[in-house]
Structure 1
């Protein structure tokens, strides 16, 4: 097999080092100074111009074809990697077989990185003028045997090119500003902006998803920007921020399809890759749903506290005990939401952000270091943020908990509507008594007491916007249309939901306690700091349910456990 390039240099170099005949060794050493000239010419052009002049494939760096680059990019996306795009990662590769033994592997890696960086500065960053100027000023003749000069040239080229690329990323392309914007808007770091946005969008997003319009969402986004500290961000950042809707599916409402988007252009997309943008979107959608539940519970809590001094106080003899239970249930859910948000926003995102800043601002950091640091940052906030655990489906558990809390909020709204309707009935009855008393009559007649029931079919069928008890809230479980049917159904619904919420909490806490990450275990501790819940792991919960089922049907369970002759014996004996 014919050898070429680096392989041939390595073979001749081996003769100069270890051959027993001194004449052969001297000849090989003399031969190397001639054989290595093309190699050093390619090396010089690579480390000073960022161009690969290797028509016969003799250098240890090679350029991949377009098909290979596309295949590599597809493989990276399928594997869910957070690495760089093909422009940086896949355009050039290192061929370890062609690395000559006259240089070390570490030296070859540094050379590979220098040329790749210069090429990226020229074509990816559009700064060919700087590369040409640098090449004219720094270019030196390289030759075999001048080891000291070669090492110094490589060291100087490495420092200069890395510093230039980091400077371009930081100042020209505003990398750090974009990362800060992603944290503020997609990771909900700008609390005032998110609060204004949610307040202004709430009325629209309560409607079905197919009634949402892009221009309406965009207008509300601009309103939130103008009425929060977001207005002081640079125009370039605000230009990249946009709202859009996810794909629609049957039965969804606006809350389920709304999302924010932050557009990233080249060359910053080498660090914030398309895969990374999807991770940001995934975290935003989860945090947005948590914020939505917090907003809904907060609105209901304020209504309850305000009504306690008015409407609810008037009907306390009938539903007072129910409202005490409801307030306890809402407070329990608000505590859970607050602890979950604090953990994700501060213990996870803020902590990971500090680590990212330290990694990005290290002296002599390379673009590869930045890519790795950002990929680690995204992995940390998704894994520790309960969105990327492979062993336990925390995401599914949390979504079910959030769904339960929203259902509980709807049931509480139903109880409030019932209380308002009861208050209205009492007020109307008092008004009739006062009217009859003023007319010189006493009490109420049977005709007065048989006034239309606010819960009757006639009242429920009217589409009266001023009705104190909206018709849809009457359809609760097996409830009928009368007052005697609605209140028990509401009580049953509320009791079932709070029981379901607590059962899910115990399983979540049980799974968190057994996680290897100490931050997740800490979350379980703060959620249950007074030991209200008894943590239970998912599999043990299933075993307990199975045992309960077997206790309820002992005969069936016993029959299933017997097989063969025992089965026929039981049948015969019976």
Structure 2
């Protein structure tokens, strides 16, 4: 054959192959399992195939009737169709490659068949379901946007094949229902999900799992709007579940635009706008934005007006953040003895009943006790610090404690958590009704519970320190009139007469013991005052400088929120800042603070047991009744009985110590508390300069007048008043 004729024939021969590829694709993808999007694409290709075959018929008629019809004229008429058929074959190869990656088909192309370059290059954007073909078409449209002919071809294919997908999308965003018989939509409803199975967690778990987003099914043109698409339909379902009638789309959207002044959304500039234009232009984006805005506006009104969201958030703040913790005082009065038991031995139902009794008291928190029926007591199964560290690691906080000992001398500050008793395990449970549970969900409640457990233990330690003061005052071991009275008499006689008064030599050893014991009690009172000052300053910091300040800003931002996502985000930010400024988001602060709490707890046990055992009123009287009539039993449930026996002291966690053992124990507690207070103040100053100025303010109050800063580095000096012997040696 002539070379020019052979070259011309070679240019025409790919057309039958492209037609063969189209026939195979149309026959294969007309099957049921490929879904409506593939059906629509195959139908569009079939229309193009019909047009091409019509051209072939016309050319055949001319070849049969016109003798002058030759290869040159044949090529003239087929040349425009060659690029179109090649583009379609390349598109089919790309879709076939994507299906093989998705596992929808087996490699069906024989090795002998030539493949276009599209098969060798896998699609950059890969999805499944109905978005598979749409993603390949979007990629092709953006890749060939410089060729007007191919751009128009791919835009036509994308527009026609997306019709069934857009129909499912419109049904979802406008009515909250999914019509997806071929399982190709990006939002999936979990079928067979029984609401009764989520009785305890129905409020948040059910709605989180009922409708979910399949990210690998999202076509590229919806990737930016995927969250709004999901939430628009989900929120409509929430509104319908609450019994609110939803009007027709035209009526409700007109009312929504008139009420809120909502304007039409515009597409973002860039290459993706070509895809959006092919999908229906700005109306495509406008429908999603309007449906999303209407669903949010309706649900926000439902939450704030009908379900009183702000009042419920205030009740959560009242109970979990202890803005008015008077109910805790009454609760500890009646439940203290039960909570002192090991956690596994505490009767949960009994604690629940006692808390309910306290909350139902008409005099308890009038005006803020509206939602008391939603509060319930429960016991945690794990100590606070491990649970807090786990939450910090999950949220990316400073949970690692390794390496922090070098900067702040925390290497020897291992947290000796007290026995895991009911005090450590006690927490509150809040049952938020639907749809308030969308805001107050499990994740939110977990952070509130961690914060409450910490503050509750701080309140308990503050209470124990106050009880220690009361017991020291009642004991009679420490009075100002007893201190150094013999020394004062001897000194007065020496100064007045020039000689010492020896009338008190009888029983002087006993008096010296009383003075030394009184001196020990004065040191105990001083240490207790330091600890109480530490706890009270921290609780003041939490209550007035953190919670109240952040809550005022939180309420202002929530009222201005436009969407449910904004409310959820503002709430989470409020919680995170609360935990951070309450020193619960930094492992170094948690370690130093919890160590001080354990020292305070140990001191309370030591002080109570020593004071009770050595009190002159704890011995039995001759009639065996117990204490004198003027010192009757305290009505406070946390107070131990006045007649103390060794077994009772041991059972309450205390130990019976001699005077010398008590002195060494007290000196150890003094040094430990001062050392760890200096470590905590150093940490607060560091993070006060780098993160939040509130920490520096708290450090200044804890280290008032630079008391701890002026202590010697080794803390070996213990300030004591001179004993009687040392006082007499001065003269």
Question: Match for residue 219 of structure 1?
Answer: 353
Q: Deviations over 1:99-122 (max 9, x none)?
A: 34xx8x65x35xx51552333331
Question: Match for residue 79 of structure 2?
Answer: none
Question: Match for residue 50 of structure 1?
Answer: 176
| Match 2:299 to one of 138, 146, 165 | 165
Q: Mapping of 1:106-255 within 5 angstroms?
A: 106=224, 108-109=225-226, 112-122=227-237, 126-127=241-242, 130-131=245-246, 133-135=247-249, 137-138=251-252, 147=281, 149-150=283-284, 152-207=286-341, 209=343, 212-225=346-359, 226=361, 228-230=363-365, 232-233=367-368, 237-247=371-381, 252-255=420-423
Question: Match for residue 558 of structure 1?
Answer: none
Query: Which structure's CA Rg is the greater one?
Result: 2
Question: Match for residue 330 of structure 1?
Answer: 528
Q: Do the aligned residues in 2 keep the contact of 1:507 with 1:535 (CA within 8 Å)?
A: no
| Match 1:507 to one of 669, 679, 688 | 679
Q: Do the aligned residues in 1 keep the contact of 2:187 with 2:213 (CA within 8 Å)?
A: yes
Q: Does 1:531 align with 2:706?
A: yes
Question: Match for residue 611 of structure 2?
Answer: 416
| Match 1:489 to one of 661, 664, 667 | 661
Looking at structure 2, the residues matched to 239 and 528 of structure 1 have their Cα atoms a distance apart, in angstroms, of 43
Q: Does 1:357 align with 2:483?
A: no
Looking at structure 2, the residues matched to 423 and 368 of structure 1 have their Cα atoms a distance apart, in angstroms, of 62
Question: Match for residue 219 of structure 2?
Answer: 98
Q: Does 1:63 align with 2:188?
A: yes
Q: Does 1:38 align with 2:213?
A: no
* Distance of aligned partners of 1:167 and 1:320 in 2 relative to their CA distance in 1, 3 Å threshold: same
Looking at structure 2, the residues matched to 57 and 379 of structure 1 have their Cα atoms a distance apart, in angstroms, of 39
* Distance of aligned partners of 1:285 and 1:13 in 2 relative to their CA distance in 1, 3 Å threshold: closer
Q: How much has 1:530 moved relative to structure 2?
A: 1.5
* Distance of aligned partners of 1:313 and 1:202 in 2 relative to their CA distance in 1, 3 Å threshold: farther
Which sits farther off after the overlay, 414-423 or 395-404? Answer: 414-423
* Distance of aligned partners of 1:486 and 1:171 in 2 relative to their CA distance in 1, 3 Å threshold: same
Looking at structure 2, the residues matched to 195 and 465 of structure 1 have their Cα atoms a distance apart, in angstroms, of 20
Q: How much has 1:252 moved relative to structure 2?
A: 4.8
Q: Deviations over 1:423-461 (max 9, x none)?
A: 979x99xxxxxxxxxxxxxxxxxxxxxxxxxxxxxxxxx
Question: Match for residue 591 of structure 2?
Answer: 396
Q: Do the aligned residues in 1 keep the contact of 2:599 with 2:672 (CA within 8 Å)?
A: yes
Question: Match for residue 449 of structure 1?
Answer: none
SS in 1 for 2:527: helix
Q: Do the aligned residues in 2 keep the contact of 1:117 with 1:165 (CA within 8 Å)?
A: no
Q: Deviations over 1:448-500 (max 9, x none)?
A: xxxxxxxxxxxxxxxx976367566599xxx9x9xxx8222222222221221
Query: TM-score with structure 1 length normalisation?
Result: 0.68
Looking at structure 1, the residues matched to 659 and 178 of structure 2 have their Cα atoms a distance apart, in angstroms, of 80
Q: Mapping of 1:562-573 within 5 angstroms?
A: none
**Which has more helix, going by share of residues?**
1
Looking at structure 2, the residues matched to 118 and 161 of structure 1 have their Cα atoms a distance apart, in angstroms, of 8
Looking at structure 1, the residues matched to 570 and 430 of structure 2 have their Cα atoms a distance apart, in angstroms, of 20
* Distance of aligned partners of 1:134 and 1:302 in 2 relative to their CA distance in 1, 3 Å threshold: farther
| Match 1:8 to one of 133, 137, 140 | 137
Q: Deviations over 1:158-216 (max 9, x none)?
A: 33211012122334444333322222112222222122222332344345556533343
Q: Do the aligned residues in 2 keep the contact of 1:401 with 1:504 (CA within 8 Å)?
A: yes
Looking at structure 2, the residues matched to 525 and 271 of structure 1 have their Cα atoms a distance apart, in angstroms, of 37
SS in 2 for 1:514: helix
SS in 1 for 2:532: helix
Looking at structure 1, the residues matched to 162 and 311 of structure 2 have their Cα atoms a distance apart, in angstroms, of 46
Q: Do the aligned residues in 2 keep the contact of 1:169 with 1:268 (CA within 8 Å)?
A: yes
Structure 1 unaligned residues grouped into runs of 5+? 68-83, 429-463, 546-574
* Distance of aligned partners of 1:144 and 1:99 in 2 relative to their CA distance in 1, 3 Å threshold: same
Looking at structure 1, the residues matched to 530 and 159 of structure 2 have their Cα atoms a distance apart, in angstroms, of 80
Q: Deviations over 1:272-309 (max 9, x none)?
A: 3323322222211111111111001112223434666x
Structure 2 unaligned residues grouped into runs of 5+? 1-93, 96-131, 193-203, 255-275, 384-417, 484-510, 623-639, 716-731
* Distance of aligned partners of 1:201 and 1:53 in 2 relative to their CA distance in 1, 3 Å threshold: same
Looking at structure 2, the residues matched to 517 and 86 of structure 1 have their Cα atoms a distance apart, in angstroms, of 39
Looking at structure 2, the residues matched to 25 and 210 of structure 1 have their Cα atoms a distance apart, in angstroms, of 71
Looking at structure 1, the residues matched to 609 and 347 of structure 2 have their Cα atoms a distance apart, in angstroms, of 29
Q: How much has 1:123 moved relative to structure 2?
A: 5.1
Question: Match for residue 107 of structure 2?
Answer: none
Q: Does 1:259 align with 2:411?
A: no
Q: Do the aligned residues in 2 keep the contact of 1:114 with 1:161 (CA within 8 Å)?
A: no
Q: Do the aligned residues in 1 keep the contact of 2:342 with 2:419 (CA within 8 Å)?
A: yes
Query: TM-score with structure 2 length normalisation?
Result: 0.55
SS in 2 for 1:530: helix
Looking at structure 1, the residues matched to 230 and 242 of structure 2 have their Cα atoms a distance apart, in angstroms, of 14
Looking at structure 2, the residues matched to 33 and 98 of structure 1 have their Cα atoms a distance apart, in angstroms, of 13
Question: Match for residue 343 of structure 1?
Answer: 541
Question: Match for residue 85 of structure 2?
Answer: none
Question: Match for residue 571 of structure 1?
Answer: none
Q: Deviations over 1:60-110 (max 9, x none)?
A: x3438789xxxxxxxxxxxxxxxx86834871245586234xx8x65x35x
Q: Deviations over 1:218-275 (max 9, x none)?
A: 332133220544454566x222211223349996543233332222344444333323
Which sits farther off after the overlay, 277-286 or 259-268? Answer: 259-268
Looking at structure 1, the residues matched to 280 and 250 of structure 2 have their Cα atoms a distance apart, in angstroms, of 21
